[in-house]
Copies of this chain bind each other. A is one copy, B any other.
């Protein structure tokens, strides 16, 4: 039976649903409404127009309404806003934004994919600055043209989420003076505080005025005034503090809204009305790791949800396994990726889960290859099951590869033991024979077995302040080029002959450059009867990266004689 299907929103979710609906039925009538002038554009690529990596805004648009019509026989009505849903009569009221005319369109099935809108809080003096948000091609074009038209020098980006960081990066690449202002103590929540310091440093090093832990209090004429009293001049202010699901239509139609404030859907992405579905940033998803409702503003899941909806409308049941959330971001020369749970989220949700952390640094490819660089890798797993909960990776190399592998392992309920056995592709230009993922599996298994104990780099400042016994097992030349202020240098190569220098009556903390040599030293000491030895994971390289940004931006006394970032 021929169906008439209306879709509200023509970007990731809406466009994917439309295409899949057509593939499943040639006869159905499919109409997609988009209040903006474009359907099917690449949201995620918007910031890259600011640097010119994507040179013209039209390149951001992937499909025209004309193509939807001739290739898929789908009507894509741009500049048409759906104002109202009448569930009982099964029709929507639509306004043509170009003509001002309103009309009704009936449906058999309705798919809502309205997305989420940037939050612009009503901060005092907001009329004193030129505020921009980034949601669609029109926004980014307007922002870019405005910056160029006034020959702007100073730009403030407020909010250190994905869009804020990418906007700041691309504006900086285009040579503007950029301030990136984040009210909490860190940018990019998918990364834990200890990991994100690497990205803080990178953003700072690349000349962005990164300010964390300081909220916007008010605006004055072309000035952002922070709670600390700091004033940031900015002819352009990009507001990127977050997005809120577009729920106005759904609310007015009395569709259920979930605890997170997003549209509530069932396992087939159906709302509480039997003929209305919803997908994308506007809905509440089920997090398979926290076992709770959550919001998830990611393009991949939106497309998958759209496909499920098209299937269900055409009589196919799907299996909704929930989401774990995987994401990635380029930050100048560094890449970051994460999947699943992190420590911050476990704490925020007050999850009663016992977990252990693996934190390793390994070369992303064979060390002698010219582009090899350290990769910082953090893995969380459940104790005592060993079940993988999440991971984060940051480095100049291929971090998404490693996180994709972990995301895959999580989907299959994998454990740290499983990671040891993974056979990953190896050749010198791509990786190391024992990949960081395997290595994390070894370390995780060793920890789980109680083979050794560890503390992380974020613990070291406390150790230094309490004058704890820290042994630096790097060779003498390395120690001379920068070390923890009160660390004793006993190189691994001298460890066995100088064993008597190490006290047995108090905790001993060992480190090297990345934690590998000190791990060997820890085991040697344990085998020689020392019972209270800890490996400092992240070691001197991780510590240097961890401490640097706060030291220099807060004029804080450093706990190392000199940083070493290599």
Q: A492 touches which one: B44, B71, B329 (CB < 8 A)?
A: B71
Contact indicator B428/A42 (Cβ below 8 Å): yes
Specify which chain B residues have a CB less than 8 angstroms from the CB of A303 in the assembled complex.
433-434
Once the chains are docked, how many angstroms separate the CA of A307 from the CA of B304? 41
Could you list 11 examples of A-B contacts with CB < 8 Å? A44-B428, A71-B493, A300-B435, A303-B434, A324-B423, A398-B401, A400-B430, A400-B431, A404-B405, A407-B425, A408-B414
What residues on B are CB-neighbors of A60 within 8 Å?
368
Shortest CB distance A20–B (Å)? 10
> B411 and A424: CB pair below 8 A?
no
If A26-B524, A48-B428, A300-B426 are given as contacts, then 13 extra A-B residue pairs at C-beta distance below 8 Å, sorted by A number, are A24-B523, A26-B528, A27-B527, A54-B369, A71-B493, A299-B426, A327-B425, A327-B426, A335-B430, A398-B398, A404-B404, A404-B405, A408-B408
CB-CB under 8 A for A368 and B71, given A412-B418, A427-B328: no
**This protein's copies in its complex:** 2
Q: When the two chains form their complex, are residues A44 and B326 in contact, meaning their CB atoms are under 8 A apart?
A: no
A19: chain B residues at CB < 8 Å are 520
| CB nearest neighbor in B for A434 | B303
- The verdict on A70 contacting chain B, using a C-beta distance below 8 Å, is yes
Q: Is B304's CB under 8 angstroms from A421's CB?
A: yes
Q: Are B27 and A73 in touch, CB under 8 angstroms?
A: no
Minimum C-beta distance from A292 to chain B (A): 17
A67 CB contacts on chain B under 8 angstroms: 493
**CB <8 Å contact, B411 and A339:** no
By the criterion CB–CB under 8 Å, are A404 and B427 in contact? no
A235 to chain B, nearest CB (A): 27
One digit per residue, 1 when the CB lies within 8 angstroms of any chain B CB and 0 when it does not, for chain A 87-116 equals 000000000000000000000000000000
Q: Check: A301 CB closer than 8 A to any chain B CB.
A: yes
Is residue A370 contacting chain B, with contact meaning CB distance below 8 A?
Answer: yes
Q: Quick check: is A254 within 8 A (CB to CB) of the other chain?
A: no
Closest partner residue, chain B, to A408 (CB atom): B408
Q: Is the CB of B327 within 8 A of A520?
A: no
In the complex, whether A444 has a CB less than 8 A from a CB of chain B is no
Render A142-154 as a binary contact track against B, CB cut-off 8 A, 1 for contact.
0000000000000
CA–CA, A539 and B324, complex, Å: 35
Contacts known (A71-B492, A493-B67, A493-B70); A425 close to B337, Cβ less than 8 A: yes
